[in-house]
Structure 1
Amino acid sequence: MKPINTVLFDLDGTLINTIDLIVQSFEHTLDTYYPGQYTRKDIAMFIGPPLSETFEAMENADVEQMIETYRTFNHANHDALVTPYEGVTETLDALVENGYKMAVVTTKKRDTALKGIELMGLSKYFEVVVSLDEVTNYKPDPEPLLLALKQLDAKPEEAIMVGDSEHDILAGQNTGTKSAGVAWSIKGREHLESYNPDVMLGTMTDLLTYLQIDN
C-alpha cells in the first residue's frame, strides 16, 4: 500500500459543526411546506445529498421554492449556529507541518461553504475547495474527489476521504481512496460503520494516529 499524502475533508458535520444550523433550516422549511409531517429523526437521514435531491423525493414539492426558503433561513442564522469541533485545528496544523495536501469536498454551494470555512478560521488550510458549483455529479460519484485530486496533483491511492455521511465513504470507495467515517456524525457511528470505512475516527485527532503522525 502506498503511503497516504493527501486528505480530502467533507465540511458540514466533519470539519465544522453545522448540525444545529442544518437541522433548524430543515425544520423551518419542512414546517413551512409539510407542517407536522417530519421529525428530527427524518431530518438526520436528509443530510449528505444536495437539497435538490432531498426535496425532489417529497410529494408535490416546489423544489426551487423550498431550496430558497432553506437557504434564506440558513444564511440568516449561519454565524450564530455554526461552532468548531474539538481537535480540528490541531489536526490540520499537524497535517500541514508534515507536508500533507488537503482539500475540502462538499455538496454545499461554494458561497455557503466558503462562509463556514472563513467563519471557523480554516481558510489558510485549504487552497482547494470543491463545491456543488464545480461539478455535474456529486458524492458518492467520484467526480468531485477526482477534481480535488487533480487540483492537488495527487493520486487516489495516496489519499483518504474523511466525512460524516455514507456519501463520503462511498465516494472514497468509488474513487479508489481510503475512507474515514467520523463518530460524531448525526447519523451515528453504527450507521457509518455499516458502509465499511477503512477507519472510524472518535475525534479528529484520531486521524493523526491512523496516519502515524506524532501529535
Structure 2
Amino acid sequence: MRRLFDGNDPALVLFDLDGTLVDSVPDLAVAIDRMLAALGLAPAGVARVRDWVGNGAPTLVRRALHGELDVSAATFAPGRFEQAYALFLQFYGESTAALSTLYPGARECLDGLAARGVLLGIATNKPMCFTTEMLQGLGIDGYFQVVIGGDSLPTCKPDPAMLLSAIEQCGATPATTLMVGDSSNDIRAARAAGCQVAAVPYGYNHGEPIEASAPDLIVARLDALL
C-alpha cells in the first residue's frame, strides 16, 4: 500500500463493504429467496445472488425478479417491483448479519491501519440501515470515522460522489486517499474521484476477474495492505 503513496501511509482508507470486508451473500440470499417464495417464484440460491450483488439493493431485487444479471430490458407488472422490494427490506432487516462473516485478514487490516493512525471509512452501495446493522453485528462499527451508504446521497458508485464526500468529511484529499474494493464499480468510482485504488480478487464482480479493471494494487487478503 505504501508504494502507492511514496513510501507513506495514506491519510484515509475507504472500504467497500459487501465482497470486500464482509461476505454478506449468505444473508442476502436468504432474504432474496424468502422474497421470491412470498411472490410464488422459484428460489435463486446463493450462487446466483453472489453474481447479482454490488449495485445496490434495488438492482439486486430487479435482478432476482428478472432472473438475470442484465435488467436493462426487464419489465415488471405495475407495483410488482415495489411489492418485491418491500418484502426484501423486511426479510433482510430481520437477518442482516446472522450468516455474514468478515473475510480472513479483514479485522487484522483494520486493527493495523487504526494503530498507525490512518483514518478509516466505508463507502458502500448498501442502504445505510443495513450497513449500520451489519457493522454493529460484526463488531467493527467503532473503526470508522465516516460511513456512507447507498441512500446517503443521490448517486451510488461508480459515481464518485460518496468517495468525495467521505474525503471532505475526513479532511483528506483524493491524492492522500486509498479506495479498497472488489468490483469494477469501486475502481471506476476511485478513478473518477482521483484516488488510488486497491482490490481484492475474492469478492462480487459479476463473475469478471478484477484484473480486467486494472486497479493499482491487488491483494489476496486485506492484511496484505499493511
Question: Normalised by the size of structure 2, how large is the TM-score?
Answer: 0.82
**Partner residue in 2 for 1:213:** none
Equivalents in 2 of 1:112, 1:28: separation in Å? Answer: 17
Equivalents in 2 of 1:63, 1:104: separation in Å? Answer: 28
1:5 and 2:17 matched: no
The 5 Å alignment of 1:178-193 reads 178-187=196-205, 191-193=209-211
Which of residues 138, 150, 154 is equivalent to 2:168?
150
**Partner residue in 2 for 1:14:** 20
Which of residues 54, 59, 76 is equivalent to 2:75?
59
1:108 and 2:114 matched: no
Structure 1 residues 34, 157: closer, same or farther in 2, change over 3 A? farther
Equivalents in 1 of 2:140, 2:43: separation in Å? Answer: 37
Answer with 25-34 or 195-204: which moved more.
Answer: 25-34
Question: Normalised by the size of structure 1, how large is the TM-score?
Answer: 0.86
**Partner residue in 1 for 2:67:** none
**Partner residue in 2 for 1:44:** 50
Structure 1 residues 189, 207: closer, same or farther in 2, change over 3 A? farther
Structure 1 residues 127, 70: closer, same or farther in 2, change over 3 A? same
Instruction: Quote the sequence identity (%).
Output: 29
Which of residues 193, 198, 207 is equivalent to 2:225?
207
**Partner residue in 2 for 1:194:** 212
1:76 and 2:87 matched: no
Equivalents in 2 of 1:147, 1:127: separation in Å? Answer: 12
CA drift at 1:77: 2.3
Structure 1 residues 55, 22: closer, same or farther in 2, change over 3 A? closer
Structure 1 residues 37, 24: closer, same or farther in 2, change over 3 A? closer
Q: Extract unaligned runs of 5+ from structure 1.
A: 209-215
Equivalents in 1 of 2:157, 2:198: separation in Å? Answer: 15
Equivalents in 1 of 2:199, 2:37: separation in Å? Answer: 31
C-alpha root-mean-square deviation of aligned residues, in Å?
2.3
Structure 1 residues 126, 42: closer, same or farther in 2, change over 3 A? same
Superposed CA deviations along residues 28-60 of structure 1, whole A, max 9, x for unmatched, are 334544734856554333211122234453431
The 5 Å alignment of 1:78-157 reads 78-157=96-175
Instruction: Give the length in aligned residue pairs.
Output: 208
Q: Extract unaligned runs of 5+ from structure 2.
A: 63-70
Partner of 2:179, secondary structure, is strand
Equivalents in 2 of 1:181, 1:162: separation in Å? Answer: 6
